[in-house]
Amino acid sequence: MTMATSSPAEYQAAMKRALELATTGPRTGPNPQVGCVLLDSSNTIVAEGWHEGSGTPHAEIMALTNLAHSGLSAEGLTAVVTLEPCAHTGKTGPCAEALLKAGIARVVYAVSDPGAASGGGAELLGTAGIEVIAGVEASAGEALIERWLHSVTASRPWVTLKWAMSLDGRTAAADGTSQWITGEETRAKVHRDRSEHDAIIVGINTVLVDNPRLTARTPEGDLYPHQPLAIVMGHREVPQDALIREHPGGFEHVSDHDVQALLTSLGERDIRSVYVEGGATLASAFLAEGLVDELHITMGPMLLGGPNLAITDLGVSTMADAHHLSITYIQRLGEDIVLTARPQQEGSL
Ligand SMILES: NC(=O)c1ccc[n+]([C@@H]2O[C@H](COP(=O)([O-])OP(=O)(O)OC[C@H]3O[C@@H](n4cnc5c(N)ncnc54)[C@H](OP(=O)(O)O)[C@@H]3O)[C@@H](O)[C@H]2O)c1
């Protein structure tokens, strides 16, 4: 990599625009959201691009194509990209080589690509004499694609665990009914969150008791464009007339209790994020194994009493073994409270 002759601060505004463009692409799917802007010698944006998902051109290629459509040359320009340009040929060609070939003089990026196959683009560019500046707006870049980064480095999908409970910590009444503990606004958020994960997972009991559809629907009742794969875990059979069998994102029954093995096999299929929707037995299994990255605890203003606690045994017999969380966000949705929390230390949940 050559020595930087320009300062990273010069590129912050352009990187913020590239980050904004990245959000245009889908949050789900095997590939991360990436944005790119091309700057002329006065750091004015002359072309923009972003990645629209697996199998479509990468952000850098879209920006170069848009530049060519404007009749401009890339010779001597600076490419500002939210992720290190890739160095491998997947469904599309390597971006680092395309930038090189186009005559780009400088590449500025936010986040290094940890992918064993895709990483190494910066080195390739540096060796070819291109000025490379890494780490501009790195925190914002990492936050944008944290699920993807996590799934690539941990070799398993990001796990969001969600449950709805009464203020006394029950997820169902004594007869097993649980619809509805939270109100419409909270449920609308849950549907949106479903649409932003690659898969959802529920325990077999939830299917037998509730027969849920588990589709991701807008408040108007329409299906979101992205539907997660619906997975049911447990040995008992999923009834032939269960609504989840008709899930538009696909349906799979995993006749097993090994949550780690399930996540590993989903990771091998490039499934980057899962939304675990309970019930309490399945939720507790994920927690007990330390496999939860974020919790969404939604609370409706009611008391239910009775046996159906949100979480069962986690193997905590004394306070020293408690699973400590950091609450990262508190929302008031209608009459409900929605907490977002994360494990305090990696693997502590
Ligand atoms: N409020 C909420 O957010 C919410 C969400 C979902 C459900 N619910 C309510 O919760 C109740 C169902 O919860 P639940 O706890 O009884 O059932 P569950 O978690 O939905 O399913 C539990 C069953 O799944 C199987 N299973 C799969 N993986 C497992 C593992 N790692 N460890 C143990 N068992 C595993 C077992 O069945 P096999 O023996 O057949 O393998 C087990 O009996 C219903 O009343 C439902 O209405 C509430």
**Residue ranges per domain, the chain?**
8-151, 157-343
Is 70 exceeded by the pLDDT of residue 5? no
Amino acid 67: pLDDT: 97
Query: Mean of the pLDDT values across residues 187-202?
Result: 98
60 is catalytic: yes
Q: Tell me, rounded to whole angstroms, the distance of Cα 30 from its chain centroid.
A: 10
How confident is the model at residue 200, as a pLDDT? 98
The reply to whether omega before 29 is within 30° of 0 (cis) is no
| 229 Cα to the center of ligand 1, angstroms | 18
Q: What's the pLDDT at 119?
A: 74
How many angstroms separate the alpha carbon of residue 238 from the centre of ligand 1?
13
Per-residue confidence (pLDDT) for residue 197, from 0 to 100 = 98
- Closest residue by Cα to residue 281 from 254, 309, 244: 309
Query: In whole angstroms, what is the distance from residue 40 CA to residue 140 CA?
Result: 24
For ligand 1, mutation pick of 281, 291, 311, 312 (most atoms within 8 Å of CB): 281
Of the chain, the end-to-end C-alpha distance in Å amounts to 40
Q: What is the pTM of this model?
A: 0.93
Average pLDDT rounded to a whole number, residues 25-49: 97
- Give residue 54 CA to ligand 1 midpoint distance, Å: 33
Q: Where are the beta strands (DSSP E) in the chain?
A: 35-39, 45-50, 78-83, 106-111, 131-134, 158-166, 199-203, 229-233, 251-254, 273-276, 294-300, 325-333, 336-343
User: 10 Å Cβ neighbour count for 3?
Assistant: 7
Per CATH, is 157-343 categorized as 3.40.430.10?
A: yes
- Amino acid 3: pLDDT: 47
Compute, in angstroms, the gap from residue 153 CA to the centroid of ligand 1. Answer: 29
- Catalytic annotation, pick one of 60, 84, 137, 277: 60
| Nearest alpha carbon to residue 197 among 26, 54, 20, 35 | 26
Tokens read off for 254? 């995993």
* Ligand 1 centroid – CA 206 distance (Å): 5
User: So what's the pLDDT on residue 260?
Assistant: 98
CA of 280 to the centre of ligand 1 (A): 6
Q: What is the pLDDT of residues 217-257, one digit of tens each?
A: 999 999 999 999 999 999 999 999 999 999 999 999 999 99
For residue 51, give the DSSP letter: -
Work out the mean pLDDT of the chain and round it to a whole number: 94
Side chain identity, residue 271? I
pLDDT value of residue 166: 98
Q: Which of 82-86, 89-93, 251-255 has the lowest mean pLDDT?
A: 89-93
pLDDT for position 88: 79
Question: Residue of the nearest CA to atom 43 in ligand 1?
Answer: 205
- Which protein residues touch ligand 1 with a CB less than 6 Å away? 163-164, 171-172, 176, 178, 181, 202-206, 209-210, 233-236, 257, 259, 277-282, 285
Could you read off the pLDDT of 176-192 as tens digits, one per residue?
A: 899 999 999 999 999 99
pLDDT above 80 (res 108): yes
CATH of domain 8-151: 3.40.140.10
Q: Give me ligand 1 centre to Cα 155, in Å.
A: 26
Can you tell me the distance from the alpha carbon of 57 to that of 68, in angstroms, rounded to the nearest whole number? 15
Q: How confident is the model at residue 92 (pLDDT cuts 50, 70, 90)?
A: low
Q: Whose CA is nearest to atom 28 of ligand 1?
A: 257
Residue 154's identity, in one-letter code, is A
Mutation pick for ligand 1 pocket among 204, 238, 244 (CB with most ligand atoms within 8 Å): 204
245 and 275 in contact (C-beta within 8 Å)? Answer: no
Half-sphere exposure of 261 (CA within 13 A, CB side): 6
User: Comparing 130 with 115, which gets the higher pLDDT?
Assistant: 130
Ligand 1 atom with the shortest distance to the CA of 259: 31
What are the start-end ranges of the H helices in 229-317?
A: 259-268, 280-288
Phi/psi of residue 345, each to 5°? -130, 150
Cβ-based neighbours of 330, under 8 Å, separated by 6 or more: 337, 338, 339, 340
Check residue 9 and give its pLDDT.
82
In the predicted model, is pLDDT for residue 120 greater than 90? Answer: no
Give the residue whose CA is nearest to atom 14 of ligand 1: 279
Per-residue pLDDT of 132-173, as tens digits, reads 999 999 999 999 999 999 999 999 999 999 999 999 999 999
Residue 288 pLDDT class (50, 70, 90 cuts): very high
**Fold identical between 8-151 and 157-343?**
no
Pocket test of ligand 1: the residue of 165, 166, 171, 284 to mutate, having most ligand atoms within 8 Å of its CB, is 171
Tell which one of 186, 282, 289 to mutate to probe ligand 1, the residue whose CB is within 8 A of the most ligand atoms. Answer: 282
**Structure confidence at residue 299 as a pLDDT band (50, 70, 90):** very high
* Residue ID of nearest Cα to ligand 1 atom 36: 234
Residues 305-323: tens digit of each pLDDT: 999 999 999 999 999 999 9
